[in-house]
Amino acid sequence: MTTVAAKSAKSGVKPSTMAQALTRAMRDAMAEDPTVHVMGEDVGTLGGVFRITDGLAKEFGEDRCTDTPLAEAGILGAAVGMAMYGLRPVVEMQFDAFAYPAFEQLISHVAKMRNRTRGAMPLPITIRVPYGGGIGGVEHHCDSSEAYYVATPGLTVVTPATVEDAYGLLRASIASDDPVVFLEPKRLYWSKADWRPEAPTPVPGIGKALVRRAGTSATLITYGPSLPVCLEAAEAARQEGWELEVVDLRSLVPFDENTVVESVRRTGRAVVVHEAGGFGGPGAEIAARVTERCFHHLEAPVLRVTGFDIPYPPPMLEKHHLPGVDRILDAVARLQWEN
C-alpha cells in the first residue's frame, strides 16, 4: 500500500483517497438513479464532517442530499418511510457511537421489514457508519460497533479496506435491495491508491472475501481498518521466515466462509484480527467456524488478536488497545511451530 504513490507518479495518474472514492460512488449512483437520496447530519452544505458527501448537495440539490435535524432515529425512521415509497436512501451516521440512537429503527424495522412482509416490502437502505479508532478521537468517536450489526439477521454488513473496494462495495450496497450497514474505516479515509474515478476498477461484489497476499505458513483473517496492519505484519514476518496469507473479508454478512476455509486448509494455521473486542466479536464466530470446518487441517488452535474487552480508550492510550504488528506477530509465533 505504501508503494502506490510511487507507482502513480510513474503512471501519471493522480492517486485518489478512500474518501474521494466513497464520494464518487454516491455521486455516480445519484447520477444513474434518481431514487438515490443521501441524508444525514451536516451532509449538505458542509459535505459531512469527513467531507464524504462533498459537492453532492451542490450537484443534485438539497432534496437529493439533505441536511436533516440532529436525530438519528428520526433520520433512519424517515429513510424507512422513503424506502417504503420506492426511494433508495443512503443515510450517513456521523460517527459509530452516534448511530446508537437509531438502533431500534435498525433492529426492529430496517432489518425485519422484508421478512415481516414476506418479501413484499424490502428496504433498500444504505447506512454509512464511519467506525474504528486510530485517529486520536475522544470518547464516542472510535467504537468498533460491527458485532451489534452482524448479530442482527436481515442486515448485510460490509466494510471496505481499499480505495477500489470503497467505490465498488458502496455502489453494490446502494444497488442492493436489502439494507446494508456500510462500515467505513475512518482511519483509512485518507489512504491513497492509483484509482481513476472515470474508470473505476471493477471489484467482486458483496459476500466475496479476497486473498490480499498469498502465503503458505498461516492465514491472517481480517477486514477494514486492520487490513493494512495485517499486510504490514505479513511483510515483517518474512524476516522470521513466515509467509503469511492475508484474507480480507470485505463483507461480514454474508460471510465468505469458503474463501477463508480454503485458505486455512492450505496453511493449517489461522489468526483472526480486528479492532472490536474479542468476546462476542466477529472473530469468535469466525474462529469457531474455521475450527469446525478445518479441524483436521489445523496445526494449532485458531487465535484472535482483537481490541481488549474494554470501553474504547482515550486517545493517549489507544495505541495499547489497537491490534498492532507486534501483537499479530506474537500471535503468529504462538501457532505451535516447534511441533
Partner 1 sequence: MTVQELPGAGASHRSTPPAWRPRTDAAPLLPDPEPYRVLGTEAADGLDPELMRRCYAELVRGRRYNAQATALTKQGRLAVYPSTVGQEACEIAAALVLEDQDWLFPSYRDTLAAVARGLDPVQALTLLRGDWHTGYDPREHRIAPLSTPLATQLPHAVGLAHAARLRGDDVVALAMVGDGGTSEGDFHEALNFAAVWQAPVVFLVQNNGFAISVPLAKQTAAPTLAHKAVGYGMPGRLVDGNDIAAMHEVLSEAVRRARSGGGPTLIEAVTYRMEAHTNADDATRYRGDAEVEAWKAHDPIDLLERELTARGIIDEAAIRSARDEAETMAAALREGMNADPVVDPMDLFAHVYAEQTDRLREQAAMLRAELEAEDQA
Q: By CB under 8 A, is residue 176 in contact with partner 1?
A: yes
| Cell numbers for 6 | 510511487
- Evaluate whether 314 touches 138 at the Cβ level (below 8 Å): yes
Should residue 177 be labelled a site residue for partner 1 when binding is judged by CB under 8 A? Answer: yes
Residues 157 and 183: beta-carbon distance below 8 Å? yes
The single residue among 11, 45, 117, 216 that binds partner 1, judged by CB under 8 A, is 117
Segment lying near partner 1 (by CB under 8 A), choices 4-12, 44-52, 120-128, 136-144:
120-128
By CB under 8 A, tell whether 68 contacts partner 1. yes
End-to-end C-alpha distance for the chain, whole angstroms: 34
Interface with partner 1, residue 114, by CB under 8 A? yes
Supply the DSSP string of 278-339, one letter for each residue: STTSHHHHHHHHHHHHHGGG-SS--EEEEE-SSSPPPGGGHHHHS--HHHHHHHHHTS----
CA–CA dist 201, 190 (Å, integer): 18
Smallest gap from residue 56 Cβ to partner 1 (A): 16
When binding is defined by CB under 8 A, the residue of 85, 296, 316, 338 that contacts partner 1 is 85
Instruction: Tell me if 155 sits within 8 A of 124, measured CB to CB.
Output: no
Residue 51 DSSP symbol: -
Q: Could you tell me the smallest distance in angstroms from the CB atom of residue 46 to partner 1?
A: 17
Is residue 122 a contact point for partner 1 (CB under 8 A)? yes
Residue 141 a catalytic site member? yes
Cα–Cα nearest to 150, from 180, 115, 116, 109 = 180
**Alpha-carbon gap, residue 199 to 158, rounded angstroms:** 23
Cβ at position 63, least distance to partner 1 in Å: 6
| 162-201 burial: b if 16+ Cβ within 10 Å, else e | bbbbbbbbbbbbbbbebbbbbbbbbbbbebbbbbeeeebe
The stretch among 12-20, 46-54, 61-69, 316-324 that binds partner 1 (CB under 8 A) is 61-69
Compare residues 89 and 324 and give the one whose CB is closer to partner 1: 89
User: Applying CB under 8 A, does 158 fall inside the site for partner 1?
Assistant: no
Tell the residue number behind the cell numbers 454474508, with chain if given: 254
Contact window for partner 1 (CB under 8 A) among 11-19, 171-179, 217-225, 307-315: 171-179
Nearer to partner 1, 91 or 335 (CB): 91
Nearest distance, CB of residue 66 and partner 1, angstroms: 9
Contact status: 226 vs partner 1 (CB under 8 A): no
Q: Does residue 302 touch partner 1 according to CB under 8 A? A: no
Q: Please report how many Cα atoms fall inside a 13 Å half-sphere around the Cα of residue 337, on the Cβ side.
A: 11
Quick check: 139 binds partner 1 (CB under 8 A)? no
Q: How many CA atoms lie within 13 A of 215 on its CB side?
A: 25
**Which listed residue (11, 45, 108, 216) binds partner 1 by CB under 8 A?**
108
Site string for partner 1, 13-52 (x = CB under 8 A): ------------------------x---------------
Q: Work out the widest C-alpha separation in the chain, in whole angstroms.
A: 65
> Which of these is catalytic: 109, 141, 274, 321?
141
178 binds partner 1 (CB under 8 A): yes
Instruction: Give the residue, chosen from 5, 31, 46, 71, that forms a contact with partner 1 under the rule CB under 8 A.
Output: 71
Residues taking part in catalysis? 141
Q: Which residues bind partner 1 (CB under 8 A)?
A: 37, 63, 68-69, 71, 73-74, 76-87, 89, 101, 104-105, 108-109, 112-122, 153-154, 156, 176-178, 207, 253-255, 257-258
